[in-house]
């Protein structure tokens, strides 16, 4: 279990500058919708979870530092220089986060020197990417109309000492890193290098993962837009297979280690008959296996739709030995294997089959954020700016228990968040699809 000590956020020093937002929070105290800066956000939200801690004193219970404006700042807004970088794969909302950071700095803190580093961490190493750009309110005004990121992105690590040297050369006081777990590991290394050199550089992350697999941050921005787009593909698959004889649709969605997109997209419209995710093992063969169950479902209802997270079923095919630029194992083509097995099984049992395959893949991550995600991006970005200006570093902004909070990077990169087979989300999926509880 996570301890209170592990949840302590690093600071660069005493906050001595008056915040221009001090009046916003001066009279506020903790209530159902706001957490005062002197309060804490509990990591446990049930009595039994608290009891499992063994009756430790309240001031030792694991908790997060709350997000939000501070009365005092570490950085002088008049002299502060800021850098922003986006790393890793695309995700809906990247431009929304960039825009909100720039607007918060300009309009509320009076910070006007903001640099956008191009193409991920490569842009922080001189000569490896196009020159950085200056970010202003006019530049970011309409960037949320498009998906992707105006700063570009890349995968793979770069020399951390060179990155810090460049930050020093450019006199950057704050670096905002928008990226996934690999990018956050890079941010942690940059923060560590700066601290080891006694450099007052704040490194604050806004975590991004379309798979929603980063722990302790609540929901990742862009996730809602992604599963909504995936749900459209599932609905299209349902229309296709219902119009065919023996129609079976296979819809592959992102989720190499976590099946959140598959689960939420399936729940969005009740069009899925089976949801296959990495966290729940299944077999193809046997009386309780997927193939026999699928044939039965098609016989009973005339068609069926399978939603497949890309990382599901990897144990049923030969393991891949290749890795991508980020060091992740390249997944095997289980979707192709599954389609071949379905076709063979229906043929062996002399059953008619019309098999359709849908792969929305990169489409769901390249679209602009929907309104709900845009709001979430804005609030995460604002909280990130507040934390950085107050001298917090080596941390990310999250929303655990629906409260904005500061979370140390070292904690969020330890593990991944997964769909719990014993949790209520998977139970809802089983209820919605009516797929068997056990297909092993």
Which residues are designated catalytic? 211
Is 180 labelled as part of a ligand binding site? yes
Is 209 labelled as part of a ligand binding site? yes
Is 247 labelled as part of a ligand binding site? no
CA angle 230, 233, 235 (to 5 degrees): 115
Is 289 labelled as part of a ligand binding site? no
Is 54 labelled as part of a ligand binding site? no
- For the four alpha carbons of 343, 349, 353 and 359, in that order, the dihedral sign comes to negative
Is 29 labelled as part of a ligand binding site? no
Which helix (H) or strand (E) segment is 236 a member of? helix 223-242
Is 211 labelled as part of a ligand binding site? yes
Is 110 labelled as part of a ligand binding site? no
Q: Which residue has the tokens 């193409």?
A: 119
Is 121 labelled as part of a ligand binding site? no
Rounded CA-CA distance 81/203 in Å is 13
Rounded CA-CA distance 288/284 in Å is 8
CA of residue 276 relative to chain centroid, distance: 20
CA of residue 421 relative to chain centroid, distance: 20
Is 181 labelled as part of a ligand binding site? yes
Is 109 labelled as part of a ligand binding site? no
Rounded CA-CA distance 369/185 in Å is 25
Is 219 labelled as part of a ligand binding site? no
Is 1 labelled as part of a ligand binding site? no
* Start-to-end C-alpha separation, the chain: 30
β 63-66/41-42 pair status: antiparallel
The backbone region for 435, taken as left when phi is positive above 0, alpha when psi lies in -120 to 50, beta otherwise, is beta
Is 68 labelled as part of a ligand binding site? no
Is 183 labelled as part of a ligand binding site? yes
Contact yes or no for 290/254 (Cβ under 8 A):
no
Is 364 labelled as part of a ligand binding site? yes
Is 348 labelled as part of a ligand binding site? no
- For the four alpha carbons of 152, 407, 184 and 420, in that order, the dihedral sign comes to negative
Is 392 labelled as part of a ligand binding site? no
Rounded CA-CA distance 80/328 in Å is 37
3 contact partners, CB below 8 Å, separation of at least 6: 62
b/e 301-315 (16+ beta carbons within 10 angstroms → b): eebbbbbbbbbbbbe
Q: Which residues are annotated as a binding site for ATP?
A: 89, 155-156, 180-183
Q: Which residues are annotated as a binding site for Mg(2+)?
A: 181
Q: Which residues are annotated as a binding site?
A: 89, 155-156, 180-183, 209-211, 254-256, 310, 362-365
Q: Which residues are annotated as a binding site for substrate?
A: 209-211, 254-256, 310, 362-365
């Amino acid at each position: 279990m996570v301890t209170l000590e592990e949840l302590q956020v690093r600071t660069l020093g005493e906050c001595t500058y008056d915040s221009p937002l001090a009046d916003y929070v001066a009279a506020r105290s903790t209530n159902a919708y706001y957490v005062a800066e002197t309060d804490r956000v509990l990591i446990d939200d049930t009595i039994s979870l608290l009891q499992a801690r063994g009756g430790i004193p309240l001031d030792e219970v694991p908790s997060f530092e709350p997000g939000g404006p501070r009365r005092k700042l570490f950085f002088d807004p008049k002299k502060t220089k800021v850098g922003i970088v986006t790393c890793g794969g695309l995700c809906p909302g990247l431009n929304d986060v960039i825009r909100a950071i720039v607007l918060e700095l300009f309009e509320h803190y009076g910070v006007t020197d903001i640099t956008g580093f191009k193409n991920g961490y490569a842009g922080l190493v001189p000569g490896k990417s196009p020159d950085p750009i200056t970010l202003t309110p006019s530049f970011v005004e309409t960037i949320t109309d498009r998906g992707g990121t105006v700063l570009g992105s890349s995968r793979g690590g770069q020399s951390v000492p060179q990155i810090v040297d460049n930050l020093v050369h450019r006199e950057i006081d704050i670096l905002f890193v928008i990226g996934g777990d690999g990018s956050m590991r890079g941010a942690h290394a940059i923060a560590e290098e700066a601290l080891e050199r006694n450099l007052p550089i704040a490194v604050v992350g806004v975590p991004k993962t379309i798979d929603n697999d980063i722990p302790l941050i609540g929901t990742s921005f862009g996730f809602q837009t992604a599963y909504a787009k995936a749900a459209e593909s599932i609905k299209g698959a349902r229309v296709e297979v219902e119009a065919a004889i023996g129609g079976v649709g296979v819809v592959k969605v992102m989720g190499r280690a976590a099946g959140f997109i598959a689960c939420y997209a399936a729940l969005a419209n009740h069009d899925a008959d089976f949801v296959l995710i990495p966290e729940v093992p299944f077999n193809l063969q046997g009386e309780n296996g997927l193939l026999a169950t699928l044939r039965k479902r098609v016989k009973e209802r005339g068609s069926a739709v399978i939603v497949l997270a890309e990382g599901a079923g990897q144990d049923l095919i030969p393991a891949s030995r290749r890795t991508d630029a980020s060091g992740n194992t390249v997944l095997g083509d289980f979707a192709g294997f599954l389609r071949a097995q379905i076709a063979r099984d229906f043929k062996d049992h002399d059953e008619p089959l019309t098999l359709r395959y849908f792969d929305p893949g990169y489409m769901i991550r390249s679209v602009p954020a929907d309104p709900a995600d845009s709001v979430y991006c804005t609030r995460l970005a604002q909280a990130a700016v507040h934390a950085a200006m107050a001298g917090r570093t080596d941390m990310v902004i999250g929303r655990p228990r629906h409260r904005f909070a500061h979370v140390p990077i070292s904690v969020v990169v330890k593990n991944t968040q997964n769909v719990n087979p014993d949790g209520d989300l998977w139970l809802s999926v089983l209820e919605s699809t009516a797929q068997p509880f056990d297909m092993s």
